[in-house]
Structure 1
Amino acid sequence: MKTNSAVRILSVLAHEGRLSVLQALVRSGDEGASVGTLAAAVGQNVKTVSAQLQLMADAELVRPRREGKQIFYCAQYHVLGALFGFIMHDCCAGHEDLRRTVRQACAC
């Protein structure tokens, strides 16, 4: 990932509402979730969540999928992984104790 891509993605995520929506999408797994389901999960109205999802789709963090009249969104895990890899590149300047702390914090 290039620096300008990381900055673009991080700027989209620098919003409490969008971050909450992305976290809800990640929890929904590969199936994703509808805009209505996401709005209920994060306590926001559908119009706001839809606008937030469009910004995240423009940054390639999520992907829309139409099923009938509903639109479902899925988190783009490969983009999130690339972002985390970019941030953690050359992690901890070779200090194994810091690396261990980072690995423990990232354990699912």
Structure 2
Amino acid sequence: METTSAAALLAALAHPARLAVFRMLVQAGPEGLAAGEIARRTDTLPNTLSANLSVLSHAGLVQTRREGRSVIYSAHYPAMTDLLTFLMEDCCQGRPEVCEPVARAAARASCCD
């Protein structure tokens, strides 16, 4: 991943509401959540949620699909993985203890198996 791409993903996440929505979608798993359910859980107005989801979608962090009349949003795990890898690839510099807590947390995560 290029620095410019990483910066664009980080910029999309650099807002408390967008970060909360993205984390919610990561927790929801590949099944994702309907836009209405996201709005209900976050107590967000539809136009505000739409703008936030649009930013996340344009950055490539979320993907959408239609199910009947609902639009389902889900985290785009490959983009998240690429960003995390980019952030961690130069970590440690021969000192694995620096990154050990993150490696343990990643090993416990069940979303990305």
With normalisation by structure 2, the TM-score equals: 0.88
Name the structure with the higher helix share. 1
Q: Which residue of 2 aligns with 1:51?
A: 51
Letter in 2 for 1:42: T
Shift of residue 11, structure 1, vs aligned partner: 0.5
Q: Which residue of 2 aligns with 1:20?
A: 20
Q: Is the 8 Å Cα contact of residues 24 and 41 (structure 1) preserved in structure 2?
A: no
The RMSD of aligned alpha carbons is: 1.3
Task: Please list, as runs of the form range in 1=range in 2, the aligned pairs for 1:3-14 lying within 5 A after superposition.
Answer: 3-14=3-14
Q: Which residue of 1 aligns with 2:74?
A: 74
Percent of aligned positions that are identical: 38
Q: Deviations over 1:39-90 (max 9, x none)?
A: 1122212221111111111111011111222111111000000000000012
11-20 vs 61-70, which moves further: 61-70
Q: Which residue of 2 aligns with 1:85?
A: 85
With normalisation by structure 1, the TM-score equals: 0.92
Gaps of 5+ in 1: none
Provide the rounded CA distance (Å) in 2 between the counterparts of 1:102 and 1:67.
Answer: 36
Gaps of 5+ in 2: none
Q: Which residue of 2 aligns with 1:34?
A: 34
Runs of 4+ in structure 1 deviating by more than 4 angstroms, as ranges, are none
